A and B are shown apart, each in its own frame.
Chain A
Amino acid sequence: MEQRTGLEAQIDHWRWYVLRRQAISSADVDEMEDHLRERIAELRASGLDDEEAFLVAIKRMGSLDAISREFALEHSDRLWKQLVFVPDGVDVAGARPWRELAAVLGLAVGAGVAVKVGLAAFDEGSALMRNVALLVFPFLAGYFAWKRRLTARVVAALVIPFLLLAVVLNAYPFEPFRSTEVLAALHAPVLLWLLVGLAYVGGRWRSDGRRMDFVRFTGELVIYDALIALGGGVLVGLTAGVLSLVGVDFEPVLEDWVLPLAVPGALVVAAWLVEAKQNVIENIAPVLTRIFTPLTIVMLLTLLGALATTGGLVEVDRELLILMDAILVLVLCLLLYSISARDSLAAPGFFDGLQLVMVVAALAVDAVMLGAMLARIAEFGTSPNKVAALGLNILLLVHLAWAAWLSLGLLQHRRPFAELERWQTRYLPVYGAWAGVVVVAFPPLFGFA
């Protein structure tokens, strides 16, 4: 039995190795695996053991370089890593890819219609602001629920918090557009996003690996969504331009129909694209981190220099805290995405050092601003906005500070990379908890101000 699993592991490893060749698609590997297994079965029947049969079968398969070259000659298009949405002839149950496409389009339209209906149903603007994430969420989570074939327990774990959140957001006597309402509307999507994560990982939320997958997914989704928005913007601009020439005003249609339907729909489609291309293209977010980590260091050092030479902050208010939170989120994202793409066995290198510099610089800038801010709060008292921004700042600070400590350990060869990775994924739910506090506890605490 142990021998069988050894053989399976070897075949798995072979598959992985072959798949790294860009010219060989996974369907080709399936085909060759079938061949390999049959050859192994025949060799075993003639008396060889698993190990020998595997080695002979691999040898008979020939040099992978040569095969890969032949495939490349035959399929030069593959070298461009084409994204195939509906792979033809790849699936035995031929209907499946089309069914997925249909399901995705259905969900995308559903999300758009839900927002459109919401626009009509909530006449006062602030109610829509509170509910818009709730309207889109079921379609996105629904896609993963369908895709991952979630069990009833996991579905319940999605639906119950969703309903509770919906009740809180709509039953609280919010004053339109006061701070607590805006804060609740801003933090509800964070909670919902973690629920999407629960659906994404198929209920296996304890797994660090799956959590990291969700982090990767999030980064890619943001990039895909931005790309779709960019393309959509070009189309809208061209349409509006031509229509204005014939004297038709496109703006009302754009505001009433195109945007409410297209923006939520694009989110669902982007989620599907990230899913579909997962195995096709390497992730782009980690590539961007390589570019922006050095640039961010330059930015942070400039900020530090400016703070030191101008002799302190002229105006300290919540804008500053929010700005600082944004900088820390940026730094965190850069850290998170390069960690998500790092080979966990690689020795610490130059880029790990660069990252540590970035995190330390961010912490230094934050310390200066936070000091000023705390003095300010002590003088003028708190407000919901200040407390929310301060809370997030502290969470980010803890996250980054400990990550810096672990990075230092990594660079000194005292700690394994896995520890740094685990810290990131373990810490994520803390943000959800904080968002929950802001949504649920803040409004009554601050008297719905």
Chain B
Amino acid sequence: MHIEKDLVAASSTPLVLGILAEGESYGYAILKRVNDLSGGRMQWTDGMLYPLLHRLERLGYVSSAWGTSDVGRRRKHYAITPAGREALAEKQKQWSVVADALKQVWQAAQQPPAVAEGWA
């Protein structure tokens, strides 16, 4: 399923922060987690994750450290910071409001007659 660019951009920060709140991770694993969480319906462009992670790092929401993978390659691990948790909580509030509003609107849309009556 194709999801619009703007929506992907808006949701990527809370998603990444949320995944990192589950525990330290690295780029590829974060993408896999996004894939799992959305049942494979959200597909990001792989490369775009890295500028995003760097931006979050600059904002102080995540910290990074170089480590090694199990096959011995250099790998950069990211962890959420306290500031990142605060940002995540804030985002969560915002998205709850949006999701809540959307949910009501979807429900209302499913019952057009009732709405029509209400207006009448």
Footprint of B on A, CB under 8 Å? 27-28, 30-35, 37-39, 57, 60-64, 66-67, 70-71, 73-75, 89-92
Q: Residues of A contacting B66 with CB < 8 Å?
A: 89-92
Q: Residues of A contacting B101 with CB < 8 Å?
A: none
Is B2 interfacial (CB 8 A cutoff)? no
Report the minimal beta-carbon distance from A336 to chain B, rounded to whole angstroms: 37
CA distance A62 to B44 in the complex (A): 9
Is B120 interfacial (CB 8 A cutoff)? no
Is B45 interfacial (CB 8 A cutoff)? yes
User: Could you write out 10 A-B pairs with CB less than 8 Å apart?
Assistant: A30-B74, A30-B76, A31-B27, A62-B45, A66-B47, A67-B45, A67-B50, A70-B52, A90-B66, A92-B67
Report the minimal beta-carbon distance from B19 to chain A, rounded to whole angstroms: 15
Is B65 interfacial (CB 8 A cutoff)? yes
Is B13 interfacial (CB 8 A cutoff)? no
Is B51 interfacial (CB 8 A cutoff)? yes
Tell me whether B73 and A37 are in contact (CB under 8 A): yes
Tell me whether B74 and A92 are in contact (CB under 8 A): yes
Q: Residues of B contacting A73 with CB < 8 Å?
A: 51
Q: Residues of A contacting B45 with CB < 8 Å?
A: 60-63, 66-67
Report the minimal beta-carbon distance from A227 to chain B, rounded to whole angstroms: 32
Tell me whether A34 and B69 are in contact (CB under 8 A): yes
Report the minimal beta-carbon distance from A60 to chain B, rounded to whole angstroms: 5
Q: Residues of B contacting A66 with CB < 8 Å?
A: 45, 47-48
Tell me whether B68 and A70 are in contact (CB under 8 A): no
CB nearest to B55 among chain A residues: A74
CA distance A75 to B55 in the complex (A): 9
Q: Residues of A contacting B69 with CB < 8 Å?
A: 34, 38
Tell me whether B46 and A60 are in contact (CB under 8 A): yes
Report the minimal beta-carbon distance from B81 to chain A, rounded to whole angstroms: 15
CB nearest to B69 among chain A residues: A34
Tell me whether B48 and A70 are in contact (CB under 8 A): yes
Report the minimal beta-carbon distance from B53 to chain A, rounded to whole angstroms: 9
Is B103 interfacial (CB 8 A cutoff)? no
Report the minimal beta-carbon distance from B9 to chain A, rounded to whole angstroms: 11
Footprint of A on B, CB under 8 Å? 26-28, 31, 45-48, 50-52, 54-55, 58, 64-69, 73-76
Tell me whether B27 and A62 are in contact (CB under 8 A): no
Q: Residues of B contacting A63 with CB < 8 Å?
A: 45, 47
CB nearest to B31 among chain A residues: A35
Q: Residues of A contacting B28 with CB < 8 Å?
A: 34-35, 38-39
The listed residue (A39, A75, A92) touching B46 by CB distance below 8 A is A39
CA distance A61 to B50 in the complex (A): 10
CA distance A31 to B67 in the complex (A): 11
Q: Residues of B contacting A35 with CB < 8 Å?
A: 27-28, 31, 46, 50
Given contacts A75-B54, A92-B74, contact A61 B47 (CB under 8 A): yes
Q: Residues of B contacting A74 with CB < 8 Å?
A: 51, 54-55, 58
Tell me whether A64 and B76 are in contact (CB under 8 A): no
The listed residue (B26, B54, B68) touching A71 by CB distance below 8 A is B54
Tell me whether B75 and A34 are in contact (CB under 8 A): yes
Tell me whether A32 and B50 are in contact (CB under 8 A): yes
CA distance A63 to B69 in the complex (A): 26
Q: Residues of A contacting B58 with CB < 8 Å?
A: 74
Tell me whether B51 and A71 are in contact (CB under 8 A): yes
Tell me whether A34 and B50 are in contact (CB under 8 A): no
Report the minimal beta-carbon distance from A20 to chain B, rounded to whole angstroms: 15
CA distance A71 to B47 in the complex (A): 10
Report the minimal beta-carbon distance from A286 to chain B, rounded to whole angstroms: 32
Beyond A34-B73, A92-B74, 6 extra complex contacts between A and B, CB < 8 Å: A31-B27, A33-B73, A61-B45, A61-B46, A71-B54, A74-B58
Q: Residues of A contacting B51 with CB < 8 Å?
A: 67, 70-71, 73-74
CA distance A60 to B74 in the complex (A): 21
CB nearest to B64 among chain A residues: A89
The listed residue (A60, A67, A89) touching B65 by CB distance below 8 A is A89
Given contacts A34-B74, A74-B54, contact A62 B48 (CB under 8 A): yes
The listed residue (B31, B65, B76) touching A31 by CB distance below 8 A is B76
Q: Residues of A contacting B46 with CB < 8 Å?
A: 35, 39, 57, 60-62
CA distance A38 to B55 in the complex (A): 23
CA distance A28 to B50 in the complex (A): 8
CA distance A27 to B76 in the complex (A): 9
Q: Residues of B contacting A64 with CB < 8 Å?
A: 47
CA distance A61 to B65 in the complex (A): 22
CB nearest to B58 among chain A residues: A74
CA distance A88 to B7 in the complex (A): 34
Report the minimal beta-carbon distance from A15 to chain B, rounded to whole angstroms: 13
CA distance A404 to B51 in the complex (A): 50
Q: Residues of A contacting B73 with CB < 8 Å?
A: 33-34, 37
CA distance A63 to B65 in the complex (A): 26
Report the minimal beta-carbon distance from B61 to chain A, rounded to whole angstroms: 14
CA distance A279 to B79 in the complex (A): 30
Can you list the 3 inter-chain pairs with the closest CB atoms, starting with the nearest?
A: A62-B45, A70-B51, A67-B47
Which of B31, B51, B74, B76: most chain A CB closer than 10 A?
A: B51
CA distance A35 to B78 in the complex (A): 14
Tell me whether A62 and B54 are in contact (CB under 8 A): no
Q: Residues of B contacting A62 with CB < 8 Å?
A: 45-48
